Amino acid sequence: MTSGSEARALCFTPAYKLVEMIRSKKLSPVELMEAVLKRISEINPKLNAYLTLAEDGAVKSAREAEKALNTGAALGLLHGIPVSIKDLIMTRGLRTTQGSLIYKDFVPDKEGTMVQRLRSAGAIILGKTNTPEFGLCCCTENRLAGACYNPWNTERNSGGSSGGAAAGVAAGISPLAQGTDGGGSTRIPASWCGVYGLKASYGRVPKDVQPWGVSHVSCLDPMTRNVRDAALMLNVMAGPDGLDYTCIRTAPPDFLKAVDGRLEKLKIAWSPDLGYSVMVAPEVKAAVEAAVRIFAEMGYDVAEAAPDTGEPFDLWDVLLAAQYDLYLDSALDEHRDELMDYTRLALECARGLSGMEVARTWTQIERIRGMMRSFFEKYDLLMTPATAITAPPVGKRGRGRGRGFIDWDFIPFTSVFNLTGNPAASVPCGFSAEGLPIGLQIVGRLGDEVTVLRASAAFEEAQPWADKYPPVS
């Protein structure tokens, strides 16, 4: 049994190094699992990052992974590595609540391609991470289990909707985490918790196909403490799928190999506000400007510019409200008193929509997609703040724009890239005077996660962040 300090050091070891240690038999999968579970028992009560733990199954899988090392069996890319799954994603035989009282006892008998790929690669599922109800808020707070707290300051929120995933990675209680991003849900908590979150191009990672279809904006993503781990995880998750009809049909590049490639001369656009009428906290703006200067000092061509898309909040609200109403409409009548206020507002919004409003929304989205493609004919990357503020206090809500159920004042810069499908990452780039993390958003051309990853890795080398541990750890 490892000591507390040894468990801490092991849990903050990059996953790609853990893979090497396990393959060379310098580390036992059982020893790693025991260390992670020990840390979870000590730290999760302070964070509420997990809604469900799969402790017995995880230990059993770790023992099986250890046996496989001695049999000469082919080993997957993530053999023996613990990973958390966001509780919006179905996991066979493991409770999947979607952060809602309505599904508090739901245990699926099936799971999608992405989870199956992680298992096939040897990853071991630790449990399901906290999320706002149905992922419909930028702060992880729900009636099922309460808020997920930020490891840098437990009076602050971890962000949403992948708040539990980000908090777990930041605090060293999840070597790898899977998040989702339909309007910033990977990048927002990554920014507020000081970890790396990558939303790949839409369709890069296959999604579960529900009876009502698939979301046209949501992506399944890696959340990690460093760029290389995200590339490793994306190698496992990405690729064509016969079930998700919106998935990219061509084989993806080797993202891990791509991280080691050098960046060619880039033309980088940077914008402090994307031209929106929003207030960006001075500390956030200053940290992001300093980060962008690092790229200029590396020799890249940096200019202030942004695509003239207009504010996308109303478009996103209409699209998502209509999508959610396909499967949650009855919940508004049958479970109204169990729903969070933001869920009720979204479903009420959907009931008030006309077919003409939805049609106009899609017309505007296609216009924005065209404008974004034209913009990226001039520039290789676009950089912005990931969020307008650092992590807000638990329970604090921002002013709703659009249809009023999302706190867009806090998180104005992420959703437009869900509407257009562009890959985008949140990269830790500094701290506020209160010691709260700040994120730089790096956006690439459609299908070009490679340049986003390489730029992220170049910044990580110039200004490392993974050696900084939050106070709760």
pLDDT in tens, 50-62: 999 999 999 999 9
Q: What's the Cα-to-Cα distance from 319 to each of 313, 325, 408, 418, rounded to whole Å?
A: 10, 10, 15, 11
Of these residues, 61, 84, 100, 161, which one is catalytic?
161
Residue whose token pair is 């590339």:
231
Q: Is 161 noted as a catalytic residue in this protein?
A: yes
pLDDT at 1: 56
Q: What's the Cα-to-Cα distance from 403 to each of 20, 184, 312, 319, 435, rounded to whole Å?
A: 49, 17, 11, 11, 33
Q: Is 67 noted as a catalytic residue in this protein?
A: no
Of these residues, 61, 84, 86, 415, which one is catalytic?
86
d(CA 351, CA 332): 10
Token digits of residue 325: 């109403």
Q: Is 432 noted as a catalytic residue in this protein?
A: no
d(CA 268, CA 297): 12
**Amino acid identity of 402?**
G
DSSP collapsed to 3 states, 319-342: HHHHHHHHHHHHHHHHCHHHCCHH
Nearest to 456 by CA among 200, 148, 209: 200
Average pLDDT of the chain is 96
Q: Tell me the pLDDT of the chain (473 aa) as tens digits.
A: 577 788 899 999 999 999 999 999 999 999 999 999 999 999 999 999 999 999 999 999 999 999 999 898 899 999 999 999 999 999 999 999 999 999 999 999 999 999 999 999 999 999 999 999 999 999 999 999 999 999 999 999 999 999 999 999 999 999 999 999 999 999 999 999 999 999 999 999 999 988 667 888 999 999 999 999 999 999 999 999 989 999 999 999 999 999 998 888 999 999 999 999 999 999 999 999 999 999 999 999 999 999 999 999 999 999 999 999 998 999 999 999 999 999 999 999 999 999 999 999 999 999 999 999 999 999 999 999 999 999 999 999 877 788 989 999 999 999 999 999 999 999 999 999 999 999 999 999 999 999 999 999 999 999 999 999 999 99
Are 191 and 177 contacting, i.e. CB atoms less than 8 angstroms apart?
Answer: no
Token digits of residue 425: 């990452």
- CATH superfamily for 4-462 is Amidase signature (AS) domain (3.90.1300.10)
Q: Is the peptide bond before 161 cis (omega within 30 degrees of 0)?
A: yes
Q: Is the peptide bond before 41 cis (omega within 30 degrees of 0)?
A: no
Token digits of residue 51: 């809604």
Are 351 and 403 contacting, i.e. CB atoms less than 8 angstroms apart?
Answer: no
d(CA 157, CA 154): 7
**Strand, helix or coil for residue 303:** strand
d(CA 290, CA 280): 15
Burial of 377 (0-12, 13-18, 19+ CB in 10 A): exposed
pLDDT at 42: 97
DSSP collapsed to 3 states, 212-248: CECCCCCEEEEEECCHHHHHHHHHHHCCCCCCCCCCC
**Strand, helix or coil for residue 34:** helix
Of these residues, 158, 162, 174, 185, which one is catalytic?
185
d(CA 27, CA 16): 13
Residue whose token pair is 């070009």:
448
pLDDT at 72: 83
**Amino acid identity of 329?**
D
Whether pTM exceeds 0.75: yes
